[in-house]
Amino acid sequence: MNDRLTAENALNKLSNTAGKEFITLLKHGSLKIEIYKPRKIDNQIPHSKNEIYVVISGSGFFVKGDERQPFKAGEIIFVPAFVQHHFENFSEDFATWVFFYGPEGGEK
Tell me what pLDDT residue 107 has.
Answer: 87
Count CB atoms within 10 A of the CB of residue 82.
13
Q: Is residue 97 part of a domain?
A: yes
pLDDT band at residue 2 using 50, 70 and 90 as cut-offs: low
**Closest residue by Cα to residue 60 from 95, 34, 21:** 95
CATH (domain of 45): 2.60.120.10
Q: Is residue 92 part of a domain?
A: yes
Number of residues that this document lists for the chain: 108
Domain that holds residue 29: 7-101
Tell me what pLDDT residue 108 has.
Answer: 76
Tell me what pLDDT residue 3 has.
Answer: 65
Q: Are 76 and 25 in contact (CB under 8 A)?
A: no
Q: Is residue 22 part of a domain?
A: yes
The model's pTM is 0.92
